[in-house]
Amino acid sequence: MQLLIRSARIVDAASPFHGQLRDIQIENGLIRQIGENLEAQDGVRVLEADNLHVSTGWVDLRVLAQDPGFEHKEDLTSVCRAAAAGGFTDIALLPNTQPAIDSKGTLGYVRRMAEGQPVSVHVIAAITKKAAGEDFTDMLDLHHAGAVAFSDGHHPLQNPDLLLKTLQYLQPIDGLLMNRPEETMLTRFGQMHEGIQSTLLGLKGIPALAEELMIERDLRLLDYVMATEPATDEAGSLPPVLHFSTISTARSVELIRQAKAQGARISCDVAAHQLLFDDSALAGFDTNLKVNPPFRPADDVAALWAGLADGTIDAIVSDHTPQDAESKNLEFDQADFGIIGLETAVVSVLSQKRGLSIEQIIDKLTTRPRQILRLQPLRIDEGQPASLTLFDPSGAWTYDQTHSKSRNSPFFGHTFASRVVGIVHQGLFTKA
């Protein structure tokens, strides 16, 4: 494919063209030329748009595909199309399928099904069999089969010995453990954040303490394992070995901030929807807003934005969790948790910003996620691979249809102040 992108603002701090308005010529999957008023040859597709911005391809660290096992909710084709429409060139899939991604056979199935898709699919393999938190998988075999990280996904590791031994087991391969921090014995039957709003609505609460205790525990265990390990090498900071998924409280942000200041090899992410809603949004009992971790009070939301601004929070994720109508069209306490977010995650954050620059937000979707997953670094420069996301940070866009098989989103009919134009990846342009 030959493509000429006209007059695009380059957003890439690693690029010598960062902040500049340039034409970008792409041929056979590579950036051939960057300049001004480049001539369009015969047969070259020309792409132009108002206020066009281009960055390296966005990466989502947390996506549930529901395939294999629950393909009626989402399959690998629909999830990849939704990802491309949302501006992502790379997605990391959680292992919570049926069967779980706990063997080379299931991992191989996912990788085969992902061939030929418009986005690159990276597989996070389960730490324990069936992601049940009991018996270890063969993580070394899964690593060699292509797993980029290890996690039990939606099931937090409750047993401290499992987490400790996983960190030790992954040390020789410098592997990544991803854990969602939640002490489930404190959250049983919980429906929303425990606080004034849950009391007013008569719903059982999920205390912030359940998340914060697990972060403290995991940090102590990491310190025990890594006591003799350096935090940096000659090239700078070493990649994280422990990643906290979807943190949601001010105390969590502060614990991670302090640990990073002490050199801990950790990283963390926040779900885009956690930045947009607080627990007062549940007053209408909309089950599309039922998520875990739950929406916290406004002070916690402000702390999450502050954590993004100062670098404590490394990445923004969609936490895309497709649920069918039978799982959501129920009384609030009976409905399943989860929101689909691939198509709306980034535009929703770009539409608000809350004091962050476009460059800061894009960094949470490109450079840092790639570092966390140990993916090849990218930059917008001549001779480099053309893995790009094209977007308009000030273009209005209404979310009225989805590529996902599920519709559990609170955003249908909502108009955002930003839009995705499309992605260039693996030699192809995919329009949003």
Q: Which residues pair with 236 in a beta bridge?
A: 233
Residue 408 domain boundaries: 2-53+383-431
Domain tally for the chain?
2
Cα separation, 363 vs 54, in Å, equals 13
> Same domain for 86 and 45?
no
Q: Where are the alpha helices (DSSP H) in 124-249?
A: 139-144, 160-170, 196-201, 208-225
Beta-bridge partner residues of 58: 88
Classify residue 377: in a domain, yes or no. no
Positions marked active-site: 319
Distance CA 325, CA 282 (A): 19
Please calculate the CA angle 221-225-229 and round it to the nearest 5 degrees. Answer: 130
DSSP state of 207: -
CA distance 277 to 282: 9
Rounded distance between C-alpha atoms, residue 68 and residue 77, angstroms: 12
Looking at the structure, tell me whether residues 33 and 147 fall in a common domain: no
Instruction: Read off the tokens for 426.
Output: 């693996």
308 Cβ partners below 8 Å, 6+ apart? 270, 275, 316, 356, 360, 361, 364
| Same-domain pairing of 34 and 64 | no
Residues 48, 63: one domain? no
130 and 98 in contact (C-beta within 8 Å)?
Answer: no
pTM value? 0.96
Q: How many helices (H) and strands (E) does the chain have?
A: 12, 22
Reading the chain (432 residues) residue by residue, the pLDDT tens digits are 899 999 999 999 999 999 999 999 999 999 999 999 999 888 899 999 999 999 999 999 999 999 999 999 999 999 999 999 999 999 999 999 999 999 999 999 999 999 999 999 999 999 999 999 999 999 999 999 999 999 999 999 999 999 999 999 999 999 999 999 999 999 999 999 999 999 999 999 999 999 999 999 999 999 999 875 666 655 557 899 999 999 999 999 999 999 999 999 999 999 999 999 999 999 999 999 999 999 999 999 999 999 999 999 999 999 999 999 999 999 999 999 999 999 999 999 999 999 999 999 999 999 999 999 999 999 999 999 999 999 999 999 999 999 999 999 999 999 999 999 999 999 999 999
- Dig out the tokens for 68 from the structure: 């294999």
196 with 238, same domain: the answer is yes
Please tell me whether residues 406 and 362 are part of one structural domain: no
Please report whether residue 309 resides in a domain.
yes
294 found inside a domain: yes
User: Coil, strand or helix: which one is 430?
Assistant: strand
